[in-house]
Amino acid sequence: MNQSPRITGWGKYLPHKVLTNQDLEKLIDTSDEWITSRTGIKERRIASDEETASSLGVQAARKALEVAGLPASQLDLIIVATSTAERIFPACASVIQDQLGAKRAGAFDVNAACSGFIYSLATAYHFVLGGLYRNIIVVGSEVYSRIIDWHDRSTCVLFGDGAGAVLVQGMEGERPLVGFSLGSDGSKGEVLYAPGICGPIGNGAKSGHFLVMEGKEVFKAAANIMVASSRQALTQVGWTTGDVDLFIPHQANKRIIDMASKQLGVPQERVYLNLHRYGNTSSASIPIAVCEAVEEERLKPGDKLVMVGFGAGFSWGAMALEWQPYL
């Protein structure tokens, strides 16, 4: 049976605690003007002591299932994009599977940092296209506040916590028009990373478990890579940037987004931004933005949508599709 994958449900969850730029002024040598002018970020959400990537992800997944009207018992697969799971194993996806009560669903994590949601969504689409599964929940969930050095003003102002999820369902019909572009440059791995606990003895002793980033190197690469990846996805579906109704980039830095959209020729009114509210939530940023774009009626049935992410690895991914959520 030919199956046409559609995103039929979406949901998000943000922790209640808000950390503003003014709050950061009391912690480190910075200012609201400095942060805003360089990043576009005004505030971010911070997980409580009890919250984890899985607990945030469960809330987002439940909302996505509610929108679609699908009980968790009908899920075939759960894919979670995260680089801040609370345990090495079991997978964050397995914890979410248990909490949802999705007893017959397989579950696994994808760690491609800020590009993880696009990697996970591409995986879900191809499982559906191959006829293997019909109902797949894709979650992006992060608690970057746990791996941030709050004395490092170059990184602590950038990141926040949150989760977003979409439900991908296989419906009878023709293969959808969808384009993907996934890539990686592992030679740039030292530019943006977080040390693990299983590396060579002594490795990472200086930074502990905190995220390490060479901001200038990331900034120089990000816009160009996002542009190239977006163009590759557009080429697969035969669209030009002029056809794009909404461009949802990874919400990392407004200057990077402005550079990328300008190079692509996508006007500002067709670019979705919410990083001023949440900062960089890594793999959660794109699904959170999708939810809010729908809520604000910025994303409507029939719209041509491009989503693109870029992050540590370096890794990147883009997806072009027509937004047709209804059965």
> Which domains, ranges and CATH numbers included, belong to the chain?
3-172 (3.40.47.10), 178-322 (3.40.47.10)
pTM for this entry: 0.96
Can you tell me the distance from the alpha carbon of 107 to that of 57, in angstroms, rounded to the nearest whole number? Answer: 13
Can you tell me the distance from the alpha carbon of 248 to that of 233, in angstroms, rounded to the nearest whole number? Answer: 13
Give 276-300 as a DSSP string: HHH-B-GGGHHHHHHHHHHHTTSS-
Phi–psi pair at 192, nearest 5 degrees:
-150, 110
The tens place of each residue's pLDDT in the chain, 327 residues long, gives: 578 999 999 999 999 999 999 999 999 999 999 999 999 999 999 999 999 999 999 999 999 999 999 999 999 999 999 999 999 999 999 999 999 999 999 999 999 999 999 999 999 999 999 999 999 999 999 999 999 999 999 999 999 999 999 999 998 877 778 999 999 999 999 999 999 877 776 554 455 789 999 989 999 999 999 999 999 999 999 999 999 999 999 999 999 999 999 999 999 999 999 999 999 999 999 999 999 999 999 999 999 999 999 999 999 999 999 998 875
43, 31, 249, 240 alpha-carbon torsion, rounded to 10°: 140
pLDDT for 205: 47
pLDDT for 201: 64
Q: So which residues are the catalytic ones?
A: 114, 250, 280
